[in-house]
Amino acid sequence: MLDQIDKTLLSNLQADSRFSAQELGELCGLSASQVSRRRQRLEADGLIRGYTAKLDPQRVGLAIQAFVQVQMAKHGTEPAGDFARLVELRPEITSVWTLTGEADYLLRVYCADLEELNHLVQNVLLAHPHVARVQSQIVMSQLKQDAQLPL
Binding a copy of itself (rule: CB under 8 A), the pick from 87, 117, 121, 131 is 87
Query: Nearer Cβ to DNA, position 26 or 78?
Result: 26
CA 13, CA 48: separation in Å to the nearest integer?
9
* Footprint (CB under 8 A) of a copy of itself, residues 21-80: 45-57, 59-62, 65, 67
Least distance (Å) between residue 36 CB and DNA: 4
Contacting range for a copy of itself; rule: CB under 8 A; set: 25-33, 71-79, 97-105, 125-133: 97-105
Question: From a copy of itself, DNA, none, which one binds at residue 101 (CB under 5 to 8 Å depending on kind)?
Answer: a copy of itself
Residue 125 to residues 93, 101, 121, 132, Cα–Cα distance (Å): 11, 20, 5, 9
* Burial (0-12, 13-18, 19+ Cβ within 10 Å), 135: exposed
Q: Considering beta carbons, is residue 32 or 57 the nearer one to a copy of itself?
A: 57
Q: Which does 30 bind (CB under 5 to 8 A by kind): a copy of itself, DNA, none?
A: DNA
* Listed residue (102, 119, 123) closest to 111, CA to CA: 119
What is the nearest approach in angstroms of a copy of itself to the Cβ of residue 9? 9
Burial class (CB in 10 A: 0-12, 13-18, 19+), 90: middle
